[in-house]
Amino acid sequence: MSLFKKIVGKILNQPEEEENPDLIKLGDQLKNADLDYKFAQLFTHSGGFFNYCADEAEALQTLNHILKIEDIKSVFCWDEDLKNFLDVVKVPYTTELELFNDAALITCEYLIAYDGRIMLSHNNILHYHSSRLPQKIIIMANVSQIVNNLNDAMSKIKRNGNIRNLTSISGSNSKLDTPNKDNTKLFLLLLED
């Protein structure tokens, strides 16, 4: 909690809130767990919706279910492989982010098990800032993209080169990068490689 928030809280007689102590406590409890299990637990604890998919057919069913339940009519999607999924389920999409997009269907760089966050780059969201994404974000990733911590992710990024504009997001409690995005829903479809 910032010093400013603490002072304002004291003036207004608001109780002090800790910086998500439950997430830190859960992370400590899971320190020896498998990376995929740890990531899934921390991601869902922070408010994300985790969906394990054994193959692309199951991912397609899960995506279709999310689109129907969330009443999504238009999707921002520029990834060629993901567009094929949307063509099958017959949901309109745009390759540029538009105000009328209900959701974004994107990929990611890495899934960070340490805190359940998802690392994005320009490869995933083009030139758009993550705060401009729609309030419903569906991310498709593979189990092989799970890394232990941010240092591991950065090491892999340095080896791969040419990745810029890095950002990370987590479940709906993250509020992305702006305070007005507090009702963002983040769905993850995790596929076996």
So what's the pLDDT on residue 160?
A: 81
Give domain status of residue 29, yes or no: yes
On whether the CB atoms of residues 112 and 147 are closer than 8 A, the answer is yes
Residue with the larger pLDDT of the pair 127 and 50:
50
CATH number of the domain where residue 169 is located: 3.40.50.10420
Nearest-angstrom CA–CA distance, 63 and 176:
22
So what's the pLDDT on residue 18?
A: 46
Give domain status of residue 4, yes or no: no
Domain limits for position 148: 20-191
Record the tokens describing residue 97, joined without a space.
């982010």
In the chain, the number of structural domains is 1
Give domain status of residue 6, yes or no: no
CB burial of 75-106 (b: ≥16 within 10 Å; e: otherwise) equals bbbbbeebeebbeebebebeeebeeebbbbbb
Give domain status of residue 10, yes or no: no
Give domain status of residue 129, yes or no: yes
Nearest-angstrom CA–CA distance, 81 and 88:
11
List, for residues 100-123, the tens digit of each pLDDT value. Answer: 999 999 999 999 999 999 999 999
What's the whole-model pTM score?
0.82
So what's the pLDDT on residue 177?
A: 47
Give domain status of residue 5, yes or no: no
So what's the pLDDT on residue 171?
A: 77
List, for residues 16-46, the tens digit of each pLDDT value. Answer: 444 455 766 766 777 777 899 999 999 999 8
What's the rounded mean pLDDT across residues 185-192?
A: 96
Tell me the pLDDT band of 127, cut-offs 50, 70 and 90. confident
Give domain status of residue 83, yes or no: yes
So what's the pLDDT on residue 64?
A: 97
Give domain status of residue 11, yes or no: no
Q: Does 2 score more than 90 pLDDT?
A: no
So what's the pLDDT on residue 7?
A: 52
